[in-house]
Amino acid sequence: MQQDEDHTQPLFNALPPAVVALALAIFGVELVISAGQQGLAGGAGGVGWRVQAIRDFAYPGGLLDWVIQNHAWTSPELRRFVTYPFVHLSFTHALFVVVFLLALGKMVGEVFGNLAVLVIFFVSAIFGAVIYDGLAGSAQALVGGYPAVYGLIGAYSFLLWVHYGVRGENQIRAFSLIGFLLGIQLLFGLIFGGSRDWVADVSGFVMGFALAPMLAPGAARRLLDKLRQR
């Protein structure tokens, strides 16, 4: 009797390498910080590792204005545009980001590829910080990977938007996930009070959606074909 094929395989083997690398980086940083807070690493100084990490790597409100006014285009502070997604306010905060990253990153990575995942992640994070700084006008530091992950949600929503369009279905359904998540954020904000970091999240989503058609397989070839026809 022929045995059924074994479809079991390690989780990370089924994920695009770029997604694995991002998830390990985020979770690794959080494990070190959490270990310090629990007194398992760093001695007495480990308790303050999270505060120190936020101070050194989060995106502070007003940074963009400072860079422009001082023409500080090569300042080390610019690193904060890409480091803030790897620092979180708590273990739970980081865990939810990693869960979303693994789920959305897998779907986006399988279609667009590893490089596209990295581009969407970091460009969405940068764009989210810029819009947050420009529109929210908040002095509160921007912390955590949600703007970058929302960029992946935007790319995934683009895939759904195309899918529903091809099938002749209502393409508004493609935005169900982002609508649900923003609704949850609004509810929690009303109940517990919230910050304006949702501006960065929405901006990350918009950038991810906008980048998706440019990073789709064959997009560069189609663009060249159109340019040659002119």
Asked whether the predicted pLDDT for residue 221 surpasses 80, the reply is: no
Other C-beta atoms closer than 10 Å to the C-beta of 6 total 6
> Is pLDDT of 7 > 60?
no
Neighbouring-strand partners of residue 59: 142
Average pLDDT, the chain: 87
On whether residue 2 sits in a domain, the answer given is no
Confidence at residue 41, expressed as pLDDT on a 0 to 100 scale: 86
Q: Which helix (H) or strand (E) holds 212?
A: helix 198-215
The verdict on residue 94 lying in a domain is: yes
Question: What phi and psi, each to the nearest 5 degrees, are found at residue 91?
Answer: -60, -40
Domain assignment of residue 1, yes or no: no
**Is residue 142 classed as helix, strand or coil in its secondary structure?**
strand
Residue 230 lies in a domain: no
Is 4 part of any domain? no
**Residue 2: pLDDT above 70?**
no
Quick check: is 74 in a domain? yes
**Cβ atoms of 35 and 41 closer than 8 Å:** yes
pTM to 2 decimals?
0.87
DSSP 114: H
The burial of 215, by beta-carbon neighbours within 10 Å (0-12 exposed, 13-18 middle, 19 or more buried), is given as buried
pLDDT tens-digit profile of 42-75?
887 888 999 999 999 999 988 999 999 999 999 9
Model pLDDT, residue 228 = 58
Confidence category of residue 227, pLDDT binned at 50, 70, 90: very low
Q: What is the mean pLDDT of residues 129-142?
A: 85
Looking at the domain assignment, is residue 156 inside a domain? Answer: yes
Q: Is the pLDDT of residue 117 over 60?
A: yes
Strand partners, 20: none
pLDDT at 1: 41
Beta strands (DSSP E) in the chain are none
In this prediction, residue 196 carries a pLDDT of: 80
Tens digits of residue pLDDT in 162-206: 999 988 999 999 999 998 988 887 777 667 666 788 899 999 999
Closest CA to 216 of 116, 135, 73: 116
Cβ pair 147, 125 in contact under 8 A: yes
- One-letter identity of residue 177: L
Q: 99: domain range?
A: 11-224
The domain that holds 118 is classified in CATH as 1.20.1540.10
Domain count, the chain: 1
Coil, strand, or helix at residue 73? coil
pLDDT of residue 50: 94
Query: How far is residue 152's CA from residue 111's CA, in Å, rounded to a whole number?
Result: 12
Q: Is 160 exposed, middle or buried (0-12, 13-18, 19+ CB in 10 A)?
A: middle
pLDDT at 95 over 80: yes
Judged against a pLDDT cut of 80, whether residue 21 lies above it is answered with yes
Mapped onto helix, strand or coil, the DSSP state of residue 59 is strand
Asked if pLDDT for residue 216 goes beyond 90, the answer is no
Q: What is the pLDDT of residue 193?
A: 60
| Average pLDDT of span 1-24 | 70
